[in-house]
Structure 1
Amino acid sequence: MALPAPRLLQACLLRHTQFACQAGRHCQSSRFKSSSQPTHSPEFRSMPSETKSAARTPARSTGAWLEIANTLQRDIIFGRLQPREHLIEDEIMERAKTSRHAVRRAFEEMERNGLVIRQPNKGVRVRSYTRKEVEDLYEVRGILETRAAAGIRLPVSKDLIARLTAIQTKHERASDKGNVVELFETNNLFHETFYQACGNTVLADAIRMYSLLTHPIRMRNMSDKAWRKEAVRQHWAMIKLLSGKDSKALAALCLDHIRHPKDFYLSLYEDVAT
């Protein structure tokens, strides 16, 4: 049975607080089952040249720290930086041709976004998630996204349908080609456009924030062709439901849409004693 709105929001706030508190602690109880196995298929590792070269681009502008943060964030999302991997200031300074201040400011931004953990006397490491944290994170996503989907007034405008259709056409093309960068960007744009239709900007912003936290989790599943085809099918189904009047079916589909990446990620990791 669905929670009444006040209880739903209370539960979401509780989960948000618990997860935020955990975000400040490094996760030492999660590891990859087999470090000898590749994280991604050869198709996934074949990144566009502009993405590969981004890390080699000198960062000399006043926005150097942001350029560094964006580059490192993409390295985490696309699996070039692994969970619990140590980020070394001097190496990044040399690679980006920038100052220590810019690198540290970039680390601050990444920590704020939940992508890295900074520990006293231990430096900065890529964040990893325990099984419990992944479950909690996706529980909050489920609460937020089903609430937003249920809040969309159906049927939506023809203009919104046209915009989502254009985005999804590009998303499907990227999926067919295995272009994970375009796939990632069009997927984000699709969901941001979709959830903005709920009319609650605070809720839409919260969904965007939790989506950012799960980017490294979601991207581990992008090398799976079968899942990519299913994700494409579900996107088209969402657009079709937006043209109808079945809010419950739309909310259920949105919940089902986020389950597979979570389950795939958890299948790669196991809890171990600290």
Structure 2
Amino acid sequence: MSNSHGVNGAGVFKALEATDLVQQIARQIAEAIVQGKLKPGERLTELRLSKEFGTSRAPVREAARLLESQGLVVSQPRRGFFVRTLSSRDLYDIYELRLGLEIHGALLALDRIGEREIDMLKRQVEKLYQLADQGFGEEQIAEDYTFHRMLCAFSGNARLLKVYDDIAIDMRAGITLIGQLYDDPHKIAQTHEPILEALERGDPMQLTAALRFHIGVARDHVVPLFADIET
């Protein structure tokens, strides 16, 4: 397999292993987006990518669909897939909205949840650790989002959850980039532990502080990554 010519003619991608082609392709495309090698609005041409990866077009198409579910790629009817055009200001605003929604939802949940709901959240964090052990980064991204959605769902406020779901794609674009910040995916799982601790203690101030830190740190690292892509 030859990787001498990248999407932009510069050897963007690495050789693939024989297994998990879709995951590997998605991971490399995501990294290329974050590193600015694929620009916002740029078309992901299945034929050119399949030639560079040395695969058929099918796994490239599936990888693009996976990235679409994560918010990094959008599809247009009869035109194909394109790198998502999302500005750093857009993402900052999304994080601010997410922060307000999650803190309010979590505080509402604090008055409603019991051992059953806390155990569900614990199992979700355990799943994050398991996926880190297995090296399944894309699945970990999805389950990370699930943890936060569960917390909002436990608020019992259907309208709040609907707004949360409405901004899900944009949020998942940010969560996808979290993987670029840690050399060990276990650290992503560990960042959820203070939230669990605050919920178990039933401490609203500790819970608010834990969420402000958890989401704020992500915002302060991910938004500049988007700013770098823009330039």
* TM above 0.5: yes
Relative to structure 1, the CA distance from residue 227 to residue 253 in structure 2 (aligned partners, 3 Å threshold; closer, same or farther) is farther
Tell me the CA shift for residue 150 of structure 1: 1.8
Relative to structure 1, the CA distance from residue 252 to residue 207 in structure 2 (aligned partners, 3 Å threshold; closer, same or farther) is farther
CA distance in 1: counterparts of 2:145 and 2:195, whole angstroms? 15
Equivalence map 1:229-240=2 (5 Å): 229-240=186-197
Instruction: Tell me the equivalent position of 2:4.
Output: none
Q: What percent of counterpart residues are identical?
A: 19
Instruction: Tell me the equivalent position of 2:207.
Output: 250
Tell me the CA shift for residue 188 of structure 1: 2.3
Asked whether the 8 Å contact 1:170–1:186 carries over to 2, the reply is: yes
Asked whether the 8 Å contact 2:72–2:83 carries over to 1, the reply is: no
2:163 counterpart of 1:206: yes
* Paired residue total: 203
Instruction: Tell me the equivalent position of 2:57.
Output: 95
Q: Per-residue CA shift, 1:123-158, capped at 9, x if unaligned?
A: 863223223222212111112111111211347211
TM-score by length of 1: 0.56
CA distance in 1: counterparts of 2:190 and 2:23, whole angstroms? 32
2:74 counterpart of 1:116: yes
2:125 counterpart of 1:163: no
Cα RMSD, aligned residues only:
4.3
Tell me the CA shift for residue 254 of structure 1: 1.7
2:173 counterpart of 1:216: yes
Tell me the CA shift for residue 180 of structure 1: 0.3
The range that moved more, 161-170 or 204-213, is 204-213
TM-score by length of 2: 0.65
Tell me the CA shift for residue 246 of structure 1: 1.5
Instruction: Tell me the equivalent position of 1:195.
Output: 152
CA distance in 1: counterparts of 2:139 and 2:18, whole angstroms? 10
AA aligned to 1:184 is I
Instruction: Tell me the equivalent position of 2:3.
Output: none
For structure 1, list consecutive stretches of 5 or more residues without a partner in the other structure: 1-35, 56-70, 97-102
Equivalence map 1:14-33=2 (5 Å): none
Tell me the CA shift for residue 95 of structure 1: 2.9
CA distance in 1: counterparts of 2:99 and 2:116, whole angstroms? 27
Equivalence map 1:172-183=2 (5 Å): 172-183=129-140
Asked whether the 8 Å contact 1:152–1:198 carries over to 2, the reply is: yes
Q: Secondary structure at 1:263's aligned position in 2?
A: helix
For structure 2, list consecutive stretches of 5 or more residues without a partner in the other structure: 1-9, 50-55
CA distance in 2: counterparts of 1:197 and 1:181, whole angstroms? 25
Asked whether the 8 Å contact 2:118–2:196 carries over to 1, the reply is: yes
Relative to structure 1, the CA distance from residue 194 to residue 227 in structure 2 (aligned partners, 3 Å threshold; closer, same or farther) is farther
Relative to structure 1, the CA distance from residue 259 to residue 116 in structure 2 (aligned partners, 3 Å threshold; closer, same or farther) is same
Asked whether the 8 Å contact 2:45–2:81 carries over to 1, the reply is: yes
Residue number among 142, 149, 158 corresponding to 2:99 in the alignment: 142
CA distance in 2: counterparts of 1:147 and 1:261, whole angstroms? 18
CA distance in 2: counterparts of 1:262 and 1:46, whole angstroms? 32
Asked whether the 8 Å contact 1:175–1:229 carries over to 2, the reply is: yes
CA distance in 1: counterparts of 2:184 and 2:97, whole angstroms? 23
Asked whether the 8 Å contact 2:109–2:151 carries over to 1, the reply is: no
Relative to structure 1, the CA distance from residue 247 to residue 80 in structure 2 (aligned partners, 3 Å threshold; closer, same or farther) is same
2:216 counterpart of 1:259: yes
Tell me the CA shift for residue 209 of structure 1: 3.3
Asked whether the 8 Å contact 2:128–2:140 carries over to 1, the reply is: yes
Q: Per-residue CA shift, 1:197-250, capped at 9, x if unaligned?
A: 111122123223323213233222314436745442332222222222222321
